Chains A and B, each alone.
Chain A
C-alpha cells in the first residue's frame, strides 16, 4: 500500500501518562475510505490513540500523518478530522439544526449552503422533522444520530468514533451497527471506530486492529483475526477459544497430562517452548471422527442448551477442558443429545488447531 492510499499513518507513536505507558510504539496504517476498528479491553490505549488522532492529546514520541502531512503540532480545530464522542457531547442549548450547523458556521460557509447541507444530513439520519428540537427532547438513539450528523456534515477526511453505541440497548445497538456501516459506505469517508465489543468490530469493519496494554497485537480483516489470531491474547479476546497450555514438539504439542496432539507448529516456535493450543468451539465435532481428523476421548462435564446451539464442556485430560458447540438440528433434539457424564469423542481438522506463543 502506498502512502497516498492512506488517510492516517501512525509512526512509532508513544504516549505516557506519568510513568505509565498508554500507547507503546504504535505503527498503524489506515486506508482511505475504509471502516477501521481499534479493538481492545478498557485501558488498552485505544481511546488515547483516537484522541491523539483528533488532537486532544499530543504523542510523546513518533508521528501522526493525516493525508500524508504530520499533524502533531496542529490543534484539533485545524485538523480535517471530526469525532463522535462516547457521551455524544451535544450542545444542549442549541437546536438540532444548530448543533449540526456548528462546524459549518465556524468555517463561515454561506447560509444557503448550511441550510442545504444540514438538511441533507438530517435526512440521512432521518431526523428532518425534529430540526427545531433541543437535544434533551430526543431519545438515546436519536441523540446518537445527531452526534453522527454533526460530525459528518463537515465531510472530514476521517471520522473518529469513540464507542458511539456503548450507551444504547442491545436491540438499538444492532440496528445502529448496520446503519453506521450503511452510512459509511454511502459517504465513503474513512471511519476509525474504537470499541471493546469484539462482535461489533467483526460485524462492521474492513480492518480491525487489536490492542492490549498499549501495544498492537494484530491487524487484519474480521476473518484474519478470528481464524488466524496472531497470539493467545487475540484468540482469547475475539470470540470463544479453547486455549490449552502445552509444550511445543516437532509436529504437534504435548499437554501437561502427557497427551500429544498433532498441529502445525510455526517456524519461529522452537520445540520445547511453552505454547497455547487454540481451537474454536465450532470447529470441534462430537461423535465418531471422520477420515484424517484428530480425535481425543473425553467426558462431558457440562452441557448448556442455548436454543439454536448447545455448548458442551468436555474434559479430555485432568485440568484440560474444551468447549464444543453443536447445532441443535432435528436429529439432535431432546434425548438424542449426549448426556452429562457420558464419554464422548471430540474431533477436529489438524489445520484448525493453532499453536500460539503464550
Chain B
C-alpha cells in the first residue's frame, strides 16, 4: 500500500516539479522588470531616475512638445511602414520562386537569401554606407528604408516559404478543377492559406525596422533620424526622463500592433455564411 502511495507521489513530482513556479517567476522578473522600471519612471514627477516622487505626465508633455522627438517618431513609423509593405511583398514573391521554380537557380538563390540573416548587421550597414557613397545617393529616410528592406526580405521569405512548402499542390488544383483560374486559385486558396505566415512576417518586419539601430545609424543623413538613433544621441547629452516616456510610447505602439492583429483573425472567423436553410425531408 505504502509502495503505491510512494510511487504516486513520485510520479506527481515528476509531472510538475515544485521549483517550476519559481523558475517561471524568475524568468518573468528577468524579462519584464527593466521594462517595468522604464514605464514606472516615465510617470515620475521629478527628474530623478532613482527616487519616485509622485505621479505626473510631465515627461510625456515634454516629449509631446519636443518637435525633434515627434518628428523622429513619425520618421520611424514611415520607415517601418514602407519597409513592412515592400519587404513583405518582395519576400513573399521570393518564397514562391524558391518553392515553386524548377531549375538550378533555386539552390544558389536559397543560400543567397539566407546570407543577410547570418551576416553581422554592422557589416551590412557599413556595406550599405559605402555603396550609397559610391553611387552618390544622398543619405535620407529613403536610404534607411532601402537598408531595412535589404535585411527584412530574408525574414519574410523564411517564414512564408516554410508555410508554402507545407501547402498541398492538390488544393490549388482543386480550386482550378472547380472553375478558378490560376490567379483565382492564388487569390482564393493559396493566399488565404498563407495569410497567417504573411501577417506574422509583416508584423515582425515592422517591429524589426521600428527599433533597428545599427543600419539606421549608418544610413541616416543630416535630416530627421529615426527614433532609436535620436534616443541614442540624446543619451550622449545626458539621461533625461523624457526617454522613459518615449520608450513607454514605443512599447505601447508595439503592443497595440500585436493586439491589432488579433481582431483581424477573429473577424475572419466570423465571416462565414449563415447556415443554409435545408428544406425538411418530406
Contacts and interface: CB of A to CB of B under 8 A. Distances in A.
Contacts of A151: 177-178
Contacts, number: 90
A118 B276 contact: yes
Contact of A131 (B170, B173, B195, B275): B275
B193 interface: yes
Interface string B166-188: 00101101111111110010001
A227 B247 CA distance: 84
Contacts of B179: 77-78, 103, 106-107, 154
Given A115-B276, A118-B276, A56 B180 contact: no
Contacts of A154: 178-179
Chain B's interface size range is: 20 to 34
A151 B177 CA distance: 9
The interface size bin for chain A is 35 or more
A128 interface: yes
B192 interface: yes
A222 B278 CA distance: 39
B15 interface: no
B178 A106 contact: yes
Contacts of A115: 276-277
B193 A87 contact: no
A97 interface: yes
A161 to B, nearest CB: 12
A86 B169 CA distance: 12
B276 A103 contact: no
A89 B174 contact: yes
Interface string A61-78: 000000000000001111
A172 to B, nearest CB: 21
A116 B179 CA distance: 20
A128 B173 CA distance: 26
Contacts of A82: 177-178
Given A93-B193, A103-B179, A85 B174 contact: yes
A250 interface: no
Interface in A91-150: 91-93, 95, 97-98, 101-103, 106-107, 115-116, 118-119, 122-123, 128, 131-132, 150
B180 A77 contact: yes
B136 interface: no
A81 B178 CA distance: 9
A119 B279 contact: yes
Given A86-B170, A122-B278, A91 B177 contact: no
Contacts of B268: 93
Given A77-B181, A119-B276, A91 B189 contact: yes
B278 A103 contact: no
B223 interface: no
Given A89-B171, A91-B189, A93-B192, A76 B278 contact: no
A232 interface: no
Contacts of B184: 77, 106
B282 interface: no
Nearest to A54: B177
Given A89-B171, A123-B278, A75 B176 contact: yes
Given A92-B193, A97-B273, A119-B277, A87 B170 contact: yes
Contacts of B171: 89-91
A98 B273 contact: yes
A62 to B, nearest CB: 22
B273 A89 contact: no
Contacts of A48: none
Contacts of B277: 115, 119
Nearest to B189: A91
Nearest to B172: A89
A95 B268 CA distance: 12
Contacts of A85: 170, 173-174
Contacts of A102: 175, 178, 180, 188
Contacts of B193: 92-93
The 8 closest A-B CB pairs, nearest first, are A106-B179, A103-B178, A89-B174, A89-B170, A119-B278, A93-B192, A119-B276, A89-B171
Given A98-B272, A106-B178, A119-B279, 14 more contacts: A54-B173, A56-B176, A77-B181, A78-B179, A85-B170, A86-B170, A91-B171, A91-B192, A102-B175, A115-B276, A119-B278, A132-B275, A150-B174, A151-B178
Interface of B: 168, 170-171, 173-181, 184, 188-189, 192-193, 195, 268, 272-273, 275-279, 281
